[in-house]
Amino acid sequence: MEVAEQIKKFEEFISMHYASKLLEQVHQGHNFLVVDFQNLIQFDPDLANLLLDQPEEVMKAAEIAVAEFDLPKPIKDFKIRFQNLPETQRIMVREIRSTHIGKLIFAMGIVRQKSDVRPQVTSGRFECPSCGNVISVLQLEQKFREPSRCGCGRKGKFRLLSKELVDAQRIVLEEAMDELEGGEQPKRMDIFLKQDLVSLMTDKKTNPGTKILVSGIVKEVPITLKEGGQSIRYDLLIEANNVEAVEEDFGSLQITEEEMEAIKKIAADKEPLKKLVRSLAPTINGHDQVKEAIVFMLVGGCMKISSDGSKRRGDIHVLLIGDPGAGKSQLLKRAQLVAPKSRYVTGKGVSGAGLTAAVVRDEFLKGWALEAGALVLANHGIVMIDELDKMSKEDRSAMHEALEQQTVSISKANIQATLRCETTVLAAANPKFGRFDPYELIAKQIDLPPALINRFDLIFPIKDLPSKEKDEQMAGFILKLHQTIKEKQEVEIETPLLRKYIAYARRRCNPHLSDEAVEEMKEYYVSMRMSGQDDSGIKSIPITARQLEALVRLAEAHAKIRLSDQVLREDAKKAIELVDYCLRQVGLDKETGKIDIDRISTGITASQRNKIVVVKEIINELEKTKGKTVAIEDIIKEGELKGQSPESTEEVLEKLKRSGDIFEPKRGFITRI
């Protein structure tokens, strides 16, 4: 097909389908027009096929055709962007070969790196000093080209008059994990963006972590050897023609009017929370409180920024600690499917840098660049961390700042940066010895640092204890599931609608606390604090301000589920019920029958601390009368006088020996260090 014919056909096509759209784009000051490829195929299949085979020439013809139109404003460098390419042109990054060079293809993946926007020369105008002739040179390669010779016979030393610049940017596209077979490593490809496709580092469309669909032309890039000269090998890149975001975050889901009706219908139900819980993980039996917590976590509380600039997080972090095979990973995987933006990582397969951020060499701008980790990539989304207990100590400590301050600070090489990481964390771990010991306190079996545990709003121990009734029900449920696996499961809310319901509640609702809700939470907090007081002088701390903040977030989440703009007493009651359930499961001190938050945060209960204080006092008193070395028998006798059993005194002495406060110089005697 001749070029003149191509131009003519494009003129017809645009005037037929896109005339009004073109005028609108020009009025708005945009210098591009997005064309649906399917319309072009219907209009002229030959022209569409030619576009796929020779995109550069055909796109140029389309741009010339646009210039022929009588437009209200003069346009320069107007681009035609094609979307909705046929599936035959969809090629995975790993499958791009030399035969694809110069062809129009599209690929899907996740943005891993993004460079700054920099200008690039497209053409230069040179003047010949001998005869004054002006020569234009198109800059199509990596290296800046000057004219080789002039008509008058002059070679070299031409004067540069002017050059045309366009904005250019590079992003690194990585294959999405859900499209790979097991054991395959995701491959990467450089994508070159120009003109209106470039975006700021903060722009959502091509932000690291966003899943995008890129259509463009595959091009080869010459590799320069260290010794100078050119390598026989070439690199590949895709010069983007169009970029579409496939999955951004909760705010990017499009909700139709029918779906909006369905969402309002669910919210108007008497108990919308129960409906959501039943639809969250229909293939997992029981664990209703955990499912409730996951629904609250998906919806989240409200982030508040005070007048002095300090932030209060709205994300609810949940930790599940349970026996193997209790369904923790299943819950995590299901939550990942429901959350509009999520990442799933697992203990041994993740490092501190992989969670937060890493500093890597940037080949494009020659320097260092930041590569975002899972917590940063899932900003405004959710990260599922499985096998939290298998992570190394150093890697776990990288999470502390991300969980509470919701930022990730990096100070490496010559990069000092603070990245935003408003991410919700759902973590799962096994107990200390792999399985819960029914006779030992739960808190003693949680093998995680207190500073990390403290940052989780809700902690659920998931026990797997034999019980005839429960086991029969569980076996029946699982076997029925296997039997009817190919049949469509009946759920109250389908997953796509559930995702949109959560996204809508998270994005549109911003409830504020009512006086009744404040009163309810205040009453619970004060009564719990007072319940720790004891006549015997033991002062346990049943609840701290962190739990109070968790109550507020949970109450806000419950109000969001109802799509309400106010947190009522019923929301506060639901939040109290959930927090109380968790505290009683994890923080109950069997010796005193009271809830003691220290059991989780320090591992030593108030009653144990009290015993340690008593024994230390006895050692002090005996030192004054009997000298530095004190007999253990005397300590036990004194302890009995103060109401302590010999066993508990011996236990305390063992603890003090282990912690290095005392040692045994000879059998039956101790000395303070």
Assign 98 to helix, strand or coil: helix
| CB-based contacts of 471, cutoff 8 Å, min separation 6 | none
Bridge partners (DSSP) of residue 194 are 168
Q: Is residue 450 over pLDDT 60?
A: yes
Considering the domain architecture, whether residues 220 and 188 belong to the same structural domain is answered as yes
Q: Is 467 helix (H, G, I), strand (E, B) or coil?
A: coil
Check whether residue 333 and residue 363 sit in a common domain: yes
Q: Is 551 contained in some domain?
A: no
CATH number of 25's domain: 3.30.1640.10
Same domain, 485 and 339: yes
How many Cα atoms occupy the beta-carbon half-sphere of 585 within 13 Å? 20
Q: What is the separation, in whole angstroms, between the first and last Cα of the chain?
A: 95
Closest listed residue to residue 396, CA positions, set 448, 461, 360: 448
Pair (77, 97) in one structural domain: no
Residues 348 and 458 in one domain: yes
- Nearest by Cα to 284 from 322, 339, 345, 335: 335
Out of 32, 52, 84, a domain closes at: 84
278/229 same-domain check: no
Which residue has tokens 């995701």?
A: 186
Q: Which of 84, 119, 153 is the last residue of a domain?
A: 84
Structure tokens that stand for 266 in this block: 């669910």
pLDDT at 364: 58
Residue 25 lies in a domain: yes
* Rounded CA separation 20/475 (Å): 63
Residue 337 and residue 469 in one domain: yes
Q: How confident is the model at residue 256 (pLDDT cuts 50, 70, 90)?
A: confident
- CA dist 92 and 133 (Å) reads 48
- Inform me whether the pLDDT recorded for 5 exceeds 80: yes
Domain that holds residue 316: 257-508
In a domain? residue 155: yes
Q: Where are the beta strands (DSSP E) in 407-477?
A: 407-412, 415-420, 424-429, 458-462
Residue-wise DSSP of 152-191: TS-BS-PEEEEEEEEEEEEEEEE--GGGSPTTPPPPEEEE
Does 180 reside within a domain?
yes
- The kind and range of the H/E element at 221 are strand 211-224
Mean pLDDT over residues 421-430, rounded?
Answer: 83
| Confidence (pTM) | 0.68
- CA-nearest of 554, 560, 550 to 574 is 554
**Total number of domains in the chain:** 4
Whether the Cβ atoms of residue 204 and residue 245 lie closer than 8 Å to each other: yes
Tokens at 75, concatenated? 């346009």
Residue 280 has pLDDT above 80, yes or no: no
Q: Which one has a higher pLDDT value, 537 or 335?
A: 335
Query: Is 40 domain-assigned?
Result: yes
Q: Are residues 391 and 454 in the same domain?
A: yes
Would the pLDDT of 540 be above 80? no
Computed over every residue of the chain, the mean pLDDT equals 77
Point out the domain boundary residue: 64, 84, 104.
84
Residues in the chain: 673
CATH code of residue 136: 2.40.50.140
CA 489 to chain centre: 29
User: Residue 568 domain-assigned?
Assistant: no
Looking at the fold, whether 243 and 297 belong to one and the same domain comes out as no
- pLDDT confidence band for 438 (50 / 70 / 90): low
Question: Both 354 and 392 in a single domain?
Answer: yes
Q: Predicted confidence band at 598 (pLDDT cuts at 50, 70, 90)?
A: low
Q: Does position 591 have pLDDT exceeding 60, yes or no?
A: no
Contacts of residue 137, defined as CB under 8 A and 6 or more positions apart, other chains included, come to 123, 124, 126, 145, 146, 147
Beta bridge partners of 318: 426, 458
- The answer to whether position 579 is within a domain reads no
User: Does residue 543 sit within a domain?
Assistant: no
> Do the strands 424-429 and 382-386 form a parallel or antiparallel pair, or are they unpaired?
parallel
Torsion of CA 172, 176, 180, 185, to 10 degrees: 40
pLDDT digits (tens, 9 = 90+) for 357-369: 777 776 655 666 6
The arithmetic mean of pLDDT across residues 336-346, rounded, is 78
**Quick one: 138 and 232 in the same domain?**
yes
Q: Model confidence over 310-319: pLDDT tens digits? A: 778 788 888 8
Question: Do residues 147 and 126 make contact, with C-beta atoms less than 8 angstroms apart?
Answer: yes
Helix (H, G, I), strand (E, B) or coil at 321: strand
Going 533 to 316 to 303 to 369, the CA torsion angle's sign is positive
Find the DSSP H helices in 391-494. 393-397, 399-404, 450-453, 468-483
Burial level of 643, CB count in 10 A (0-12/13-18/19+)? exposed
Q: Which of 506, 549, 542, 600 is nearest to 404 (CA)?
A: 549
CA-to-CA distance for 235 and 209, rounded, in angstroms? 24
* DSSP result, 18-71: THHHHHHHHHTT--EEEEEHHHHHHH-HHHHHHHHHSHHHHHHHHHHHHHTS--
Closest CA to 59 of 84, 38, 77: 77
Residue with tokens 């499985």: 386
Confidence of residue 607 (pLDDT cuts 50, 70, 90): low
Which of 267-271, 372-376, 430-434, 519-523 holds the top average pLDDT?
Answer: 519-523
Q: Are the CB atoms for 668 and 660 separated by under 8 Å?
A: no
The yes-or-no verdict on residue 539 having pLDDT over 70 is: no
- HSE (CB half, 13 Å, CA atoms) of 285? 15
Q: Provide the pLDDT confidence category of residue 199 given band limits of 50, 70 and 90.
A: low
User: What is the average per-residue pLDDT within 14-32?
Assistant: 80
CB 519 within 8 A of CB 513: no
Q: Which amino acid type is present at position 632?
A: I
Identity at 488, one-letter amino acid code:
K
- Position 202 scores a pLDDT of 44
Instruction: Give 592's strand partners.
Output: none
Report how far residue 389's alpha carbon sits from residue 396's, in angstroms, rounded to the nearest whole number. Answer: 9
Q: Which domain CATH number covers 279?
A: 3.40.50.300
Q: Extract the tokens encoding 179.
A: 């499209």
**CATH number of the structural domain spanning residue 644:** 1.10.10.10
What percent of the chain lies above the pLDDT cut of 70?
85
> Does the pLDDT value for residue 534 go beyond 70?
no
Q: Are strands 188-194 and 424-429 parallel, antiparallel or unpaired?
A: unpaired
Question: Cα(571)–Cα(560) distance, rounded to whole angstroms?
Answer: 10
Residue-level pLDDT at 201: 47
* Mean pLDDT value across residues 173-202: 72
State how far the Cα of 248 lies from the Cα of 204, in Å rounded to an integer.
7
Residue 62's CB: how many other CB atoms inside 10 A? 25
Q: Which amino acid, residue 351?
A: S
**For residue 54, is pLDDT > 60?**
yes
153 and 271 in a single domain? The answer is no
Over the stretch 69-121, which tens digit does the pLDDT of each residue have? 777 776 777 888 888 888 888 888 888 888 888 888 888 888 777 777 778 77
Q: What does the DSSP assignment read for 477-510?
A: HHHHHHHTTTSPP--SS-HHHHHHHHHHHHHH--
Q: What's the whole-number mean pLDDT along residues 472-490?
A: 73
pLDDT band at 203 (very low <50, low <70, confident <90, very high): low
CA angle 647, 651, 656 (to 5 degrees): 150
How large a percentage of the chain has pLDDT more than 90?
A: 0
Answer yes or no: are the C-beta atoms of 107 and 90 closer than 8 Å.
yes
Q: What is the DSSP string of 250-286?
A: GGG----HHHHHHHHHHHTSS-HHHHHHHHH-TTS-S
Give the model's pLDDT for residue 486: 63
* Element (DSSP H or E) covering residue 125: strand 118-127
Residues 6+ away with beta carbon under 8 Å from 421: 356, 375, 376, 379, 402, 406, 407, 408
Assigned token pair, 73: 């404003």
Residue 214 to residue 80: CA distance in whole angstroms: 15
